[in-house]
Amino acid sequence: MARESSMEVLEAMYPELVRKSSENFSFSLNLEVCNNEYSPKLSISVNITLPDGYPGAGLSCTIYGGLGSKAAEQRLSQAVRKFVSERVGDKDGGGEEDVDDMLVVDVIAFLRGEEGGGVEDIYRDVLRSEEERKGGEDTEVMLSAAVALAAAAAEQEVEWFHSEQIVSKGSVFVASGIKIRDAQDVVPLVEFHSKKDSRHRKATHHMYAYRILMGGVLYHDNSDDGEDGAGRKIAELLNNMMKAGEEQGEERGVLMIVSRWYGGVKLGPKRFAHIANAAREVMCKMFELGGK
């Protein structure tokens, strides 16, 4: 009866979180994680099973993705196992009612940060450690890209233009554009942009397209960076907004980068509208407010 009573307690205490699965004495709950106020929230699913012999036998807890970091998922699983082990040890010889009903409730409270630890704290600690480890590896690339950017800025008076954030079902889209004159500047500029701070290093995708007309020659290309079809959509937008000027002899170049922080929910074709709208906003700033 221990498992039955525990399930009843859970359904009463967390009706908005707990979802029973088809398997007996197994349920899942969704938790939101946010690294900081600028990052989109991530949704993770936690599956908990109460085995035969519960609560003395502990319980099984599995983390299903969403954190974007295997290290964070492993750290969280280890923390839960340690927490369960300590609780089972603490309750040995205790009252039957306490043992029956409170172990799994304590675990959920722990995951939510009500009993110390918590998903968000563990997630942030792991990301902080990974950033410190990667810092040395990224320095050389960032410095070389920064030199390229500084040289370009000195020669061309380069300025970045940015869109407002577009938020959709947890995903965040931001476009950034820069005027360029040489296709060889594209790779170092994209590298610099994608690694310039911790927020941009956490972005899921940095899709981009560039279009340059110089000396009567058109240079153009694009990259999806894992977001299938996104680079082509940005390229189409640049073509539509720059072609009329090119036909009148205007020589100019644009690199457009759209960064996406995935929020855990697939958006389907709607994501292309967000990408295009963010890029269009930047183009308007660059050539209507920023001048040609």
So what CATH class is 2-125? alpha beta
Grouping H, G, I as helix, E, B as strand and the rest as coil, residue 224 is: coil
Mean pLDDT of 234-254: 90
This prediction's pTM = 0.50
The Cα-based distances of 163 to 3, 176, 177 in angstroms read 52, 7, 9
Mean pLDDT of 200-226: 93
Q: What was the pLDDT predicted at 165? A: 93
- Summarised one tens digit per residue, pLDDT across range 30-72 is 776 655 444 455 667 778 888 888 877 778 877 766 566 666 7
Q: What was the pLDDT predicted at 139? A: 45
Query: Please, are residues 178 and 189 in contact by the beta-carbon 8 Å criterion?
Result: yes
Query: Please, are residues 69 and 125 in contact by the beta-carbon 8 Å criterion?
Result: no
Separation between Cα atoms, residue 182 and residue 179, nearest integer Å: 10
148 CB-near residues (< 8 Å, 6+ apart): 185, 188, 189, 192
Residue 134 or 212, more confident: 212
- Summarised one tens digit per residue, pLDDT across range 77-97 is 788 888 888 777 654 444 444
226: left (phi over 0), alpha (psi -120 to 50) or beta: left
Q: Dmax over Cα atoms in the chain, in whole Å?
A: 87
CA atoms within 13 A on the CB side of 49: 9
Q: What was the pLDDT predicted at 103? A: 79
Three-state helix/strand/coil letters over 150-185: HHHHHHHCCCEEECCCEEECCEEEEEEEEECCCHHH
Q: What was the pLDDT predicted at 257? A: 97
In terms of average pLDDT, the best of 81-90, 104-113, 220-229 is: 220-229
Distance of CA 128 to the CA centre of its chain: 15
β-strands 166-168, 171-179: how paired? antiparallel
Q: Please report, for the chain, the start and end positions of each structural domain, with discontinuous segments joined by +.
A: 2-125, 158-289
Instruction: State the CATH architecture for 158-289.
Output: 2-Layer Sandwich (3.30)
User: What is the full DSSP assignment across 7-69?
Assistant: HHHHHHH-TTTEEE-SSTTEEEEEEEE-SSTTSPPEEEEEEEE--TTTTTT--EEEEES-SS-
Identify which of 210, 226, 229 has the alpha carbon closest to the alpha carbon of residue 270.
Answer: 229
Distance of CA 38 to the CA centre of its chain: 11
